[in-house]
């Protein structure tokens, strides 16, 4: 006897076919029915209540921890949060600058932002180094020319055209043969 769950543990424990042999096929889940649906709804409601209670407990714990902190610790945490926000804003600024400069030469400017690291183009003051960025964009286009905008679409014009000459009339043909015109 193998250890699969499809086989009954004891003969006669599981479903049997017409010959009295145990069936080993796994049947799909049956619908829950009204009682099952009611129980499922109850468990969902309890899970939502537990999540809400957990969030409230986390807020109360944070309030207790904040109460025990010194003013210096609170100020330090606020400063850290402000530094994180400033770093995120600087990253967004560089990505926006990349997209703006890439709009002229890239088919999709967001591709350029995806291939370049924004932190490479910020100086110590948090300013964007546009010259370095332009050089990096040009280098990226050399390495990956498929990212560039296509030139103007090809013209299927066929070249310069001229209007057809007016077909000669019968009188013009007679004059031409007679040498008069």
pLDDT digits (tens, 9 = 90+) for 115-167: 888 888 888 777 888 888 889 888 988 998 888 888 766 667 777 777 878 88
| Predicted pLDDT at 25 | 53
Tell me: pLDDT of 110 over 60.
yes
CB crowding 140-176: b at 16 or more within 10 Å, else e: bbeeeeebeeeeeeeeeeeeeeeeeeeeeeeeeeeee
| Predicted pLDDT at 49 | 96
| Predicted pLDDT at 5 | 46
Please indicate whether residue 47 or residue 111 has the higher confidence score (pLDDT).
47
| Predicted pLDDT at 1 | 45
Mean pLDDT computed over 4-24:
51
Mean pLDDT computed over 68-81:
84
Please indicate whether residue 7 or residue 174 has the higher confidence score (pLDDT).
174
Percent of the chain with pLDDT over 70: 80
| Predicted pLDDT at 8 | 45
SS (H, E, C) the chain: CCCCCCCCCCCCCCCECCCCCECCCCCCCCCCHHHHHHHHHHHHHHHHHHHHHHHHHHHHHHHHHHHHCCHHHHHHHHHHHHHHHHHHHHHHHHHHHHHHHHCCCECCHHHHHHHCCHHHHECCCCCECHHHHHHHHHHHHHHCHHHECCCCCCCCCCCCCCCCCCCCCHHHHHHHHHCCC
pTM for the model stands at: 0.44
Tell me the per-residue pLDDT of 16-38, one tens digit each, with 9 for 90 and over.
555 555 555 555 566 778 888 89
């Amino acid at each position: 006897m193998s250890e699969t769950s499809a086989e009954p543990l004891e003969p006669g424990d599981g479903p049997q076919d017409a010959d009295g042999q145990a069936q080993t096929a796994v049947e799909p889940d049956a619908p829950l029915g009204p009682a099952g649906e009611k129980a499922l709804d109850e468990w969902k409601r309890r899970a939502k209540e537990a999540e809400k209670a957990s969030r409230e407990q986390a807020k109360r714990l944070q309030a207790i921890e904040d109460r025990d902190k010194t003013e210096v610790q609170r100020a330090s945490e606020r400063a850290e949060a402000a530094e994180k926000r400033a770093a995120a804003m600087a990253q967004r600024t560089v990505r926006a600058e990349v997209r703006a400069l890439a709009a002229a030469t890239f088919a999709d400017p967001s591709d350029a932002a995806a291939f370049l690291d924004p932190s490479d183009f910020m100086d110590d003051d948090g300013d964007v180094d546009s010259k370095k960025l332009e050089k990096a964009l040009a280098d990226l286009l050399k390495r990956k020319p498929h990212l560039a905008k296509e030139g103007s679409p090809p013209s299927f014009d066929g070249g310069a055209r001229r209007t057809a000459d007016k077909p000669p009339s019968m009188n013009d043909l007679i004059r031409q043969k007679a040498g008069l015109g």
